[in-house]
Structure 1
Amino acid sequence: MNVLIVYAHPERRSLNGAINDFTVERLRANGHAVQVSDLYAMNWKALLDADDVRERRSDAPFHPSLDSKHAFENGLQSRDIEIEQDKLRWADALILQFPMWWFSMPAIMKGWVERVYAYGFGYGVGEHSDTHWGDRYGEGLMAGKRAMIVVTTGGWESHYSPRGINGPIDDLLFPIQHGVLFYPGFDVLPPFVVYHTSQMDATRLQTTYDALSKRLDRFWDDAPIAFRKQNHGDYAIPQLTLRAELAEGESGFAAHVE
């Protein structure tokens, strides 16, 4: 299988760097082809702006979605965007690896998503009608591929428990797992989370590697998160609200998981 790892940490000698190296080695030892988009090493441009469109009139107002659509459809995207899209086409699986900063991914990775997920590629795909509201949330160009988050955080596991001060980890990661990965069609595996990183010693690092090995070895066997698909009957269209008889009494993120 082909695996793309999008990695965001400014220091290769960090814990994240060590985990990234281990992940690449383990996947390759299992016979998989691996590419790494090391965003800091690539000096990735995080800002989505008019420079993302080649041969664009400089006096015209910039419209992020419409300019993205025009560039994608006419082969006028910035070359760095095209390269990352080609990597996603090549990949059977995507791993997003990053430290949790301010309850989300680093800005440079958010910029990778904003620029690479162009209109017609990551969104704006498929028919929009009274019965089908675009190819998204379980459908789209990434359908049939798998994805997983590998994330580190300084907080303790209890801090991210159902009653923890930071909020449940599944809730914090929902916008990424459901919105960034499931939206364009990926089957999303449960995340691999490394907590309390300031207390990492050699013994605990080996335990982390052992646990990550098991997840990587089962990457194509483990069941993905059972997010509800948009166009398969669970949601009223075009309102895009969960049908009343489903997840009765529930609301919020959990209602969108079967």
Structure 2
Amino acid sequence: MKVLIVHAHPEPHSFTAAMRDAAVEVLQAEGHAVRVSDLYAKGFDPVAKAADFPSRQNPDYLVYALEQRHAWDSGTLPDDIRNELDLVLWADLLILSFPMYWFSVPAMLKGWIDRVLLSGPTYGGKRFYDRGGLVGKKGLLAFTLGARPHMFGERAIHGPLDDMLRPLLRGTLYYVGMEVLAPFAAYHVPYLNDAARGSILDAYRAYLRQLEALQPLRFPRLEDFDDRLYPRD
């Protein structure tokens, strides 16, 4: 299997980086081909902007998704977007590696999603969910956060973790057609000692060793809806 880890943490020695390194070690040992895109290290520009399109379909009014599609069709994508997209298209499994910021991803990773998962090759029209452009690939979130596990759940202070992750699990990975694996969360990381952190890394290694056997999360399929996307009776 070909695995792409998109890593977004500003500190090279962070625990998130340790998780990334553990993933590379384990996956390579299991015989997988692994590539890492470290967004901060490479200085990736996360800002979606008109300058992303040197040859505009409509120079008078920017519709970002439409210009993405035009740039893809005309072969005029900027190198930084094209290089990242090539990695995504190469991979069988995409792992997003990040610290949780404000119930979401860092701006660096959000910008990568906005600029790289572009209209055309990854989605467009009714090419989304189980008909998205990246059908056949898998996606996984591996992230750190400061909260404890008991803070998530139906009656917990933060509510269900899946609700927090919905824009990523369903609105990003599944939207472009990927089979979405259960996320791996490293809880309470800033406050743990080295032994506790080591236990988390061991659990993550064990999780990655069983990737092939994991069942994807269940989401609606387009066949359950009519041509106007109303639910079928």
TM-score by length of 2: 0.94
Q: How many angstroms apart in 1 are the aligned matches of 2:124 and 2:127?
A: 8
**1:224 is aligned with what amino acid?**
P
Task: List alignment gaps of at least 5 residues for structure 1.
Answer: 126-133, 245-258
Q: Deviations over 1:13-48 (max 9, x none)?
A: 111111111111111111111111111111111111
Q: How many angstroms apart in 2 are the aligned matches of 1:198 and 1:103?
A: 16
Would the aligned equivalents of 2:189 and 2:197 in 1 still touch at CA under 8 Å?
Answer: no
Residue 121 (structure 2) pairs with residue 153 (structure 1): no
Q: Whose RCO is larger (CA < 8 A, sep 6+)?
A: 2
Match of 1:255 in 2: none
1:26-45 aligned within 5 A: 26-45=26-45
Match of 1:128 in 2: none
Match of 1:72 in 2: 72
Moved more, 202-211 or 8-17: 202-211
Q: How many angstroms apart in 1 are the aligned matches of 2:206 and 2:80?
A: 34
Residue 152 (structure 2) pairs with residue 166 (structure 1): no
TM superposition shift of 1:235: 2.4
Match of 2:83 in 1: 83
Would the aligned equivalents of 1:187 and 1:225 in 2 still touch at CA under 8 Å?
Answer: yes
Q: How many angstroms apart in 1 are the aligned matches of 2:11 and 2:58?
A: 37
Task: List alignment gaps of at least 5 residues for structure 2.
Answer: none
TM-score by length of 1: 0.85
Would the aligned equivalents of 1:98 and 1:150 in 2 still touch at CA under 8 Å?
Answer: yes
Q: In percent, how many aligned pairs have the same letter? A: 39
| Structure 2 counterpart SS, 1:102 | coil
- 4+ residue segments displaced more than 6 Å: none
Q: How many angstroms apart in 1 are the aligned matches of 2:170 and 2:120?
A: 19
Q: How many angstroms apart in 1 are the aligned matches of 2:80 and 2:212?
A: 29
TM superposition shift of 1:57: 8.6
**1:201 is aligned with what amino acid?**
N
**2:140 is aligned with what amino acid?**
M
* Number of equivalenced pairs: 233
Would the aligned equivalents of 2:57 and 2:70 in 1 still touch at CA under 8 Å?
Answer: no
| Structure 2 counterpart SS, 1:154 | coil
Alignment root-mean-square deviation, CA: 1.7
